[in-house]
């Protein structure tokens, strides 16, 4: 019969589709009832509610952090004193503690998102599996009916009316199967998207977890800095004033040494045509990162820098750089300065002169491998990082291992992020 022929064609097309779409078909009657298997819909809704609660808590904590920022800015405008500096450190510690709490809520959000996605994925996989079994049975029945001759079909029905009803039923099934195929394709697309989304959330979870650990370290470092300040001043305003004076003098001395050595070496190198005075297209190229880490703990002119009201932070502090990590030349050039530190109070640094008026500085170096006047290529090993309190080359008031990195243009510090290659 004609409808048998049509239906055989449909079955053939459906089977071809099963090859391309993994036989992921749903029977229309069941398609509209896949919003949760075994109560997973309610579980997902509960997880989404918990996610919303964590988001609301984070939003409230962000407002509190903003209030601490406002208070810190006010403290930084007041006169330099021991009590004021302690207040700034206390403010920063409290802010970090709240930030830690906010990050913990973010971590909880991501964990809940992963759970919700896992349930949703399992739900869809179970629905598809269930409907495949239903479809297999349906196709088996249709196949058996299709093998009957017209005489056999009429013999199994009491009247033409019941035969006509059977024909209509089969045609309805044919229509439903077409709709089901389109529906399941959408579900399968959603399934794949959720799997990709899950991987993205897992990656974000790992990154936020690492960020949380860094913030906890930062909190401990603030406590260490505060304790160090108390020990060095005996909580005395007069001793603090002396300490600040010494710090400023040391900062000015280092700055003067950097500027002087750069000027002298640059003039000599330009006279010998070893570097170019005017910048070229090559000089304007991106600088390489001096360490493998890309985690920044303090930015150029960072408003959160604890001693900003004493002197500006003239570079980047790059964290997640363990003591003794390799330091690489950010660009080719000549070594203009390398310190000879023998104590922890000495600030160990390397300075490299580049063409086009550029120079780079690598601070808190624990070990230096290059000599003044030596040429280094971009990416060459020049030393090892430091910054751990009490170690040679760490310098005063350090809280933990990191690299202080500067880029200078015509002797003036500029934002390194403007020049560093964006490979992250």
CA distances from 166 to 134, 154, 156, 262 (A): 19, 11, 11, 95
Q: Which domains does the chain have, with CATH numbers?
A: 2-231 (no CATH), 236-418 (2.70.70.10)
- Mention every residue, 6+ apart, whose C-beta is less than 8 A from residue 40: 119, 120, 122, 123
Residue 333 parent element (H or E)? strand 333-338
> Rounded to 10 degrees, what is the CA torsion of 306, 221, 238, 80?
10
Overall residue count recorded for the chain in this entry: 424
Contact 333, 353 (CB under 8 A): yes
- pLDDT, tens digit, for every residue of 326-382? 999 999 999 999 998 999 989 999 999 998 889 999 999 999 999 999 999 999 999
Locate all alpha helices (DSSP H) within 32-159, ordered by sequence: 40-77, 82-146, 150-155
Cα gap 35→21, rounded to integer Å: 21
In angstroms, rounded to a whole number, what is the distance separating the alpha carbons of residues 364 and 362?
7
**Tokens of residue 374, six digits:** 């030596």
In whole angstroms, what is the distance from residue 248 CA to residue 252 CA?
6
CB 245 within 8 A of CB 336: no
Cα separation of 350 and 327, whole Å? 10
Strand partners, 337: 351
Contact between 74 and 182 under an 8 Å Cβ cutoff? The reply is no
Q: Is the dihedral of CA 289, 290, 293, 299 positive or negative?
A: negative
Instruction: Please name the residue that has the structure tokens 């690492």.
Output: 210
* pLDDT computed for residue 225 by the predictor: 87
Q: Please state, in angstroms and rounded to a whole number, the distance separating the CA atoms of residues 92 and 75.
A: 11
Using CA atoms, how far apart are residues 336 and 4, in angstroms rounded to an integer? 90
At 133 the pLDDT is 75
The pair of structure tokens assigned to 421 is: 């290659």
What is the spatial distance between Cα 331 and Cα 353, in angstroms, rounded to a whole number? 9
Residue 31, token pair as written in the block: 């398609």
3-state DSSP call for residue 331? coil
Dist CA 297 CA 404 (whole Å):
10
pLDDT at 413: 96
Distances (CA, A) of 334 to 180, 226, 255: 71, 39, 19
What pLDDT tens digit does each residue of the chain (424 aa) get? Answer: 444 544 444 454 444 344 334 444 333 334 344 555 556 888 999 999 999 999 999 999 999 999 998 998 888 888 889 999 999 999 999 999 999 999 999 999 999 999 999 999 998 888 888 777 776 776 676 666 665 555 555 556 555 566 556 666 666 666 666 666 677 778 888 899 999 999 999 999 999 999 999 999 989 988 988 998 999 899 899 999 998 898 888 889 889 999 998 888 888 888 888 877 665 555 556 899 999 999 999 999 998 888 887 888 999 999 999 999 999 999 999 999 999 899 998 999 999 999 888 999 999 999 999 999 999 999 999 999 999 998 999 998 888 899 999 999 999 999 999 999 988 7
């Amino acid at each position: 019969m004609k409808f048998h022929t049509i239906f055989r064609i449909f079955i053939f097309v459906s089977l071809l589709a099963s090859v391309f779409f993994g036989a992921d078909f749903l029977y229309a009657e069941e398609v509209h009832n896949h919003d949760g298997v075994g109560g997973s819909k309610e579980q997902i809704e509960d997880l989404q509610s918990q996610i919303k609660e964590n988001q609301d808590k984070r939003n409230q904590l962000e407002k509190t952090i903003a209030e601490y920022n406002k208070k810190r800015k006010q403290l930084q405008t007041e006169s330099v004193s021991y009590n004021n500096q302690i207040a700034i450190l206390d403010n920063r510690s409290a802010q970090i503690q709240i930030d830690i709490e906010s990050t913990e809520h973010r971590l909880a959000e991501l964990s809940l998102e992963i759970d919700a996605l896992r349930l949703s994925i399992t739900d869809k996989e179970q629905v598809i599996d269930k409907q495949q079994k239903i479809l297999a049975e349906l196709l088996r029945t249709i196949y058996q009916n299709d093998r009957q001759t017209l005489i056999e079909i009429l013999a199994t029905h009491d009247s033409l009316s019941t035969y006509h009803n059977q024909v209509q039923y089969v045609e309805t099934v044919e229509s439903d199967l077409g709709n089901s195929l389109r529906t399941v394709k959408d579900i399968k697309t959603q399934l794949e998207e959720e799997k990709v989304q899950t991987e993205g959330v897992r990656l974000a979870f790992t990154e936020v977890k690492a960020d949380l650990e860094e913030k906890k370290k930062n909190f401990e470092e603030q406590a260490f800095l505060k304790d160090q300040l108390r020990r060095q001043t005996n909580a005395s305003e007069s001793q603090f004033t002396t300490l600040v004076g010494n710090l400023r003098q040391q900062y000015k001395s280092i700055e003067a040494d950097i500027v002087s050595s750069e000027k002298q070496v640059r003039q000599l190198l330009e006279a010998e045509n070893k570097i170019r005075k005017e910048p070229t297209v090559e000089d304007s190229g991106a600088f390489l990162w001096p360490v493998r880490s890309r985690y920044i703990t303090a930015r150029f002119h960072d408003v959160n820098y604890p001693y900003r009201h004493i002197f500006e932070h003239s570079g980047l502090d790059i964290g997640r750089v363990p003591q003794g990590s390799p330091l690489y030349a950010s660009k080719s050039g000549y070594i203009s300065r390398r310190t000879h530190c023998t104590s922890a109070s000495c600030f160990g640094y390397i300075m490299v002169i580049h063409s086009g008026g550029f120079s780079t500085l690598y601070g808190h170096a624990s070990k230096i491998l290059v000599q003044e006047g030596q040429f280094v290529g971009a990416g060459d090993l020049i030393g090892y990082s430091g910054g751990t309190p009490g170690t040679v080359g760490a310098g005063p008031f350090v809280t933990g291992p990191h690299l202080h990195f500067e880029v200078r243009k015509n002797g003036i510090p500029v934002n390194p992020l403007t020049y560093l290659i964006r490979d992250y």
